[in-house]
């Protein structure tokens, strides 16, 4: 079985030695050092905010847990300075195959085009991702990471929250202007604010086994309906680093978890699948899942992100990836609010945008789950019809739902300025930026996402054409394609992906989403869109 990969020490903090004095005051306290809390803390620190990060454990969690990290997440981690490490260790993949019984129904490629810095997905055990994020935090003095600090109590004040925190040496209290709850699906902060967490519970149980073996399967996601080795149910096989393979087997709803989890009972199931038993177990887990979300992600001075705010079934890699999208959406907004650059109402757009994304993720993962585990005889009949039509029709193949994998959500957002001109393609306002290769005037090859993050991630205007750049409002970075001193578009892919004509410009938010786009930008137009995107009007 897997060991905890990294152990950390509890250290006493001077905040704990303030008996008789007022509790220490902090701008931001992030609760939960999982992928979401760690990434959010790094992002805020890179923006110059001091962050206290609390975790009730003293080590990185056991088990591989989340393993699929999306292109969007990798682009975010690039901005946090950890993308290369993740990709070097991770298993890169973009092809998925769906089987029914003995035969392959179809295959899909999640990134069929060239010219992107990052692949569609990497598979990487969550404990590696967390370890690399913790290493990055050690380089950032703005972050004060406190292990074995468990939040026991919360009192909301007008302009702060008062936390009571338990440590091995007793409890202490501190004030935070904002508390970010990244404390997972069983969030204790969610209980403390008294929020409901209602949704759909799925009765079918799934067995996860991570096994270590040397095998020659390709680095693809393989999904079976009704495979010969596991009749009547579904199965998934996926490669991770270190010769570890994720196997996911659907069990019935009446299976006894304690019996099914025993290695001696799991072994024959896996052996039947692989055709041999030359493997060792890394991790075994049995779970049921739920699709649900909080009604509101903002509760006074407590903001929820990741699994604490929303939970989905794992088919589609929409859990950790959507949590990371929460972090990138929240951090720049919170930074602006803490600096007094935008009103606190800007945070409402975090709720609007990310609850919309949560609804989409819940909808997609619920549909996948219902397809895998039909709820009625008639649902099973319709699925059978789809699977059999998929053998000879294209539309049938596309209806087979073995998990729809995470892609960034498009926001209908109060921060977006609607298109005023005609566009035939390109990311519309509310969509995330598209990558493409560029060459610097000095002749170096790079990607648009590199240019976006260079020198820190703020607002940027991506402009096309030969004209002199328009005068940009303060704090907006200029990314210019073409013209004197501009970036070179070697394959014409930037222009193509952005439906660009001479003068075209895209206003990008600090999280890489499009706020507005213009065929004929002027200083006034850009300034108006910028103020809207900053929540100033």
Give the interface with other proteins as residue ranges (CB under 8 A): 378, 381-382, 384-386, 388-389, 393, 395-396, 399
Q: With respect to other proteins, which residue has the nearer C-beta, 265 or 366? A: 366
Q: With respect to other proteins, which residue has the nearer C-beta, 388 or 466? A: 388
Q: How far is the CB of 104 from other proteins (least distance, A)?
A: 21
Q: How far is the CB of 391 from other proteins (least distance, A)?
A: 12
Q: With respect to other proteins, which residue has the nearer C-beta, 113 or 392? A: 392
CB-based contacts of 224: which residues, under 8 Å, 6+ apart?
98, 99, 100, 230, 234, 235, 236
Q: How far is the CB of 478 from other proteins (least distance, A)?
A: 42
Q: How far is the CB of 381 from other proteins (least distance, A)?
A: 5
Q: How far is the CB of 375 from other proteins (least distance, A)?
A: 15
| DSSP tag of 485 | T
DSSP-H helix ranges across 301-345: 320-338
| DSSP tag of 59 | B
- Taking residue 516's Cβ as centre, other Cβ atoms within 10 Å add up to 27
Q: Measure the CA–CA gap between 215 and 213, rounded to whole angstroms.
A: 6
419, 429 in Cβ contact below 8 A? yes
DSSP string, 415-446: TPPPP-S--SSSPPTTSBP---EEE-TTS-EE
Q: Measure the CA–CA gap between 161 and 355, rounded to whole angstroms.
A: 23
Q: How far is the CB of 99 from other proteins (least distance, A)?
A: 20
Q: How far is the CB of 358 from other proteins (least distance, A)?
A: 23
Q: With respect to other proteins, which residue has the nearer C-beta, 110 or 389? A: 389
Q: How far is the CB of 377 from other proteins (least distance, A)?
A: 9
Q: How far is the CB of 223 from other proteins (least distance, A)?
A: 20
Enter the tokens of residue 479.
């990314």
309, 358 in Cβ contact below 8 A? yes
Q: How far is the CB of 378 from other proteins (least distance, A)?
A: 8
- Taking residue 398's Cβ as centre, other Cβ atoms within 10 Å add up to 12
Q: With respect to other proteins, which residue has the nearer C-beta, 379 or 412? A: 379
261, 255 in Cβ contact below 8 A? no
Q: With respect to other proteins, which residue has the nearer C-beta, 7 or 393? A: 393
Q: With respect to other proteins, which residue has the nearer C-beta, 173 or 384? A: 384
Q: With respect to other proteins, which residue has the nearer C-beta, 254 or 395? A: 395
| DSSP tag of 312 | -
28, 177 in Cβ contact below 8 A? yes
Q: Measure the CA–CA gap between 245 and 209, rounded to whole angstroms.
A: 8
DSSP-derived pairing of the beta strands 445-447 and 437-439: antiparallel
Q: With respect to other proteins, which residue has the nearer C-beta, 169 or 379? A: 379
Q: With respect to other proteins, which residue has the nearer C-beta, 393 or 466? A: 393
Residue 308 vs residues 30, 32, 34, 328: alpha-carbon distances, Å: 12, 10, 11, 16
Residue 268 vs residues 263, 352, 529: alpha-carbon distances, Å: 9, 48, 61
Q: With respect to other proteins, which residue has the nearer C-beta, 157 or 381? A: 381
Q: Report how far apart the first and last C-alpha atoms of the chain are (Å, whole number).
A: 55
| CB neighbour class for 100 (10 Å; exposed up to 12, middle 13-18, buried from 19) | buried
Q: How far is the CB of 380 from other proteins (least distance, A)?
A: 10
Q: How far is the CB of 233 from other proteins (least distance, A)?
A: 20
Query: Which is nearest to 298 in space by CA: 336, 360, 342, 354?
Result: 354
CB-based contacts of 340: which residues, under 8 Å, 6+ apart?
none
86, 324 in Cβ contact below 8 A? no
482, 466 in Cβ contact below 8 A? yes
Q: How far is the CB of 383 from other proteins (least distance, A)?
A: 9
Q: With respect to other proteins, which residue has the nearer C-beta, 101 or 263? A: 101
Q: With respect to other proteins, which residue has the nearer C-beta, 384 or 519? A: 384
Q: Measure the CA–CA gap between 178 and 156, rounded to whole angstroms.
A: 10
Q: With respect to other proteins, which residue has the nearer C-beta, 90 or 402? A: 402
Enter the tokens of residue 149.
């600090």
- Kindly state the helix (H) or strand (E) to which residue 356 belongs, with its residue range: helix 346-372
Q: Measure the CA–CA gap between 421 and 410, rounded to whole angstroms.
A: 19
């Amino acid at each position: 079985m897997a060991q905890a990969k990294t152990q950390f020490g509890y250290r006493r903090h001077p905040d704990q030695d303030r008996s008789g004095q007022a509790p220490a005051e902090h701008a931001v306290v992030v609760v939960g050092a999982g992928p979401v809390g760690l990434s959010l803390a790094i992002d805020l620190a890179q923006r110059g905010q001091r962050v206290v990060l609390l975790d009730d454990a003293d080590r990185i969690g056991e088990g591989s847990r989340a393993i699929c990290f999306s292109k969007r997440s990798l682009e975010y981690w690039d901005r946090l300075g950890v993308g290369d490490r993740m990709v070097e260790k991770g298993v890169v993949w973009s092809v998925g195959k769906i089987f029914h019984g003995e035969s392959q129904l179809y295959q899909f490629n999640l990134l069929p085009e060239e010219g992107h810095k990052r692949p569609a997905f990497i598979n990487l055990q969550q404990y590696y991702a967390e370890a690399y994020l913790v290493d990055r935090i050690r380089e950032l003095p703005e972050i004060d990471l406190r292990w074995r600090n468990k939040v026991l109590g919360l009192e909301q004040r007008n302009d702060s929250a008062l936390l009571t925190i338990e440590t091995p040496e007793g409890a202490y209290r501190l004030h935070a202007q904002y508390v970010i709850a990244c404390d997972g699906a069983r969030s204790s902060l969610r209980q403390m604010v008294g929020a409901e967490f209602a949704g759909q519970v799925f009765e079918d149980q799934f067995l996860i086994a991570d096994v270590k073996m040397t095998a020659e399967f390709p680095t693809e996601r393989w999904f079976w309906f009704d495979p010969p080795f596991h009749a009547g149910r579904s199965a998934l096989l996926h490669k991770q680093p270190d010769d570890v393979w994720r196997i996911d087997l659907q069990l019935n709803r009446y299976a006894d978890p304690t019996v099914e989890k025993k290695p001696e009972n799991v072994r024959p199931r896996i052996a039947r699948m692989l055709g041999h038993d030359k493997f060792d177990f890394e991790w075994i887990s049995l779970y049921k899942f739920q699709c649900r979300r909080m009604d509101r992600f903002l509760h006074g001075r407590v903001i929820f992100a990741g699994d604490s705010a929303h939970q989905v079934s794992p088919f589609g890699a929409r859990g950790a990836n959507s949590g990371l999208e929460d972090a990138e959406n929240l951090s720049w907004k919170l930074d602006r609010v803490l600096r007094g650059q935008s009103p606190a109402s800007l945070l409402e757009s975090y709720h609007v945008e990310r609850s919309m994304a949560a609804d989409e993720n819940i909808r997609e993962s619920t549909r996948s789950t219902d397809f895998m585990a039909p709820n009625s005889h008639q649902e099973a009949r319709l699925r059978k019809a789809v699977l059999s039509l998929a053998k000879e029709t294209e539309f049938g193949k596309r209806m087979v739902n073995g998990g729809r994998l995470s892609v960034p959500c498009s926001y209908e957002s109060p921060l977006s300025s609607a298109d005023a001109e005609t566009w035939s393609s390109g990311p519309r306002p509310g969509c995330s930026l598209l990558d493409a290769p560029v060459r610097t005037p000095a002749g170096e090859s790079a990607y648009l996402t590199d240019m976006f993050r260079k020198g820190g991630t703020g607002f940027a205007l991506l402009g096309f054409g030969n004209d002199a750049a328009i005068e940009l409002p303060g704090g907006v970075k200029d990314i210019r394609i073409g013209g004197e001193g501009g970036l070179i578009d070697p394959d014409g892919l930037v222009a193509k992906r952005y439906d660009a004509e001479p003068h075209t410009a895209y206003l990008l938010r600090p999280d890489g989403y499009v706020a507005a786009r213009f065929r004929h930008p002027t200083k006034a137009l850009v300034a108006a869109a910028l103020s809207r995107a900053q929540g100033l009007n």
